[in-house]
Amino acid sequence: MANDIYDLRTRVTKALANPLRLKIIDQLDQDQKKCVCELVDALGCDQPVVSKHLAVLKNAGLVTMFITSSAHPVSRNFLTASIMC
């Protein structure tokens, strides 16, 4: 059990040890949903780069992602911060 907390702390620390991932966390408001495309625009990075870093943050439990579907032919990925950073 004690090792679990250290494993979690290690994952979180590694996830936050990148300037772009810190910028992503800063862009996410815990009370609002944000589309990946909004992060791409705000950060000035290519979508695959942002998605790669989001996957790291998601695996560390720092963001949650969900896909919305609508009448629009393109689904959108939305994000919310799942813990306060």
Give the DSSP per-residue string, 19-63: HHHHHHHHH--TTS-EEHHHHHHHHT--HHHHHHHHHHHHHTTSE
Per CATH, domain 2-81 is 1.10.10.10:
yes
User: Amino acid letter at 16?
Assistant: L
In the prediction, which pLDDT does 64 show? 83
Cα gap 72→80, rounded to integer Å? 21
What pLDDT is attached to residue 84? 44
Domain ranges of the chain: 2-81
Angle between the N-to-C axes of helices 19-27 and 47-59, in degrees from 0 to 180, rounded to the nearest 10: 80
pLDDT at 85: 45
- Please list the rounded mean pLDDT of every run of 10 residues in the chain (85 residues): 84 95 86 82 93 92 76 59 47
